[in-house]
């Protein structure tokens, strides 16, 4: 699922984030999402990324 999410996110914004990666990790009844924008390291996602993240997540959820 983690790899699929990263792949779909890169497809959504391929002109800007061709090297995007993400890490999903279960934590206390939730799924934490850390993202690596512009190869600057993994950090919790910020609100400004919400639209592209929701779009990529929609692709992943429909492929499960």
Locus of tokens 């609100």: 47
Mean pLDDT rounded to a whole number for the chain: 79
* pTM to 2 decimal places: 0.59
In our burial notation (b when 16+ CB lie closer than 10 A, e otherwise), range 48-59 reads ebeebbeebbee
The sign of the torsion formed by the CA atoms of 46, 23, 19, 51 equals: negative
pLDDT (tens digit, 9 = 90+) per residue, 33-57? 888 878 888 888 765 566 777 777 7
Neighbours of 35 (CB within 10 A): 22
Residue 19: what pLDDT?
Answer: 80
From the number of C-beta atoms within 10 Å of its C-beta (0-12, 13-18, 19+), residue 13 rates as middle
Q: Where are the domains of the chain?
A: 2-63
Residue 8: what pLDDT?
Answer: 83
């Amino acid at each position: 699922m983690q790899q699929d999410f990263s792949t779909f996110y890169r497809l959504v914004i391929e002109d800007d984030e061709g090297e995007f990666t993400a890490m999903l990790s279960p934590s206390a009844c939730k799924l934490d999402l850390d993202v690596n924008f512009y190869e600057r390291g993994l950090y919790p996602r910020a609100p400004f990324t919400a639209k592209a993240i929701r779009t990529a997540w929609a692709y992943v959820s429909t492929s499960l």
